Amino acid sequence: MDRFDNIPETALAWHRAGKGAVLATVIQTWGSAPRRVGSQLAISGDGEIAGSVSGGCVEGAVVVEALEALEEGTARELEFGVSDHDAFAVGLACGGTIRVLVEPIGKVLPEPMLAKLVAARAARHPMAYVVDLDTGARHLDRAGHDERFRMDRSGFEEDSRTFVAIHNPPLKLLVVGAVHIAQALVPMARIAGYDPVIIDPREAFASESRFPGEKLVHDWPDDAIAAEGLDARTALVLLTHDPKLDDPGLGAALKSDCFYIGALGSSRTHAKRVARLQERGFTDVQIARIRGPVGLAIGASGPAEIAVSILAEMTRVLRQGA
Domain limits, the chain: 7-167, 171-320
Element (H, E) at 28: strand 21-31
Residues of the chain with pLDDT under 50: 1-4, 90-93
DSSP string, 255-279: TS--SEEEE-S-HHHHHHHHHHHHH
**How many CA atoms within 13 Å lie on the side-chain side of 318?**
24
At 84 the pLDDT is 56
At 2 the pLDDT is 41
Preceding omega of 34 cis (within 30 degrees of 0) = no
At 89 the pLDDT is 53
**Helix then strand then coil, % of the chain, to nearest 5:** 35, 25, 40
Tell the CATH superfamily of the 171-320 domain.
Answer: NAD(P)-binding Rossmann-like Domain (3.40.50.720)
Which residues contact residue 14 at a Cβ distance below 8 angstroms, ignoring those fewer than 6 apart? 20, 21, 42, 44, 45, 48, 105
* ∠ CA 99-104-109, rounded to 5°: 95
Cα separation of 225 and 219, whole Å?
9
Q: What is the pLDDT of residues 43-83, one digit of tens each?
A: 999 999 999 888 777 888 999 999 999 999 999 999 987 66
Which residues contact residue 103 at a Cβ distance below 8 angstroms, ignoring those fewer than 6 apart? 22, 23, 24, 25, 69, 75, 109, 131
Q: What is the pLDDT of residues 82-114, one digit of tens each?
A: 665 555 554 444 567 889 999 999 999 999 999
Q: Which amino acid is at 3?
A: R
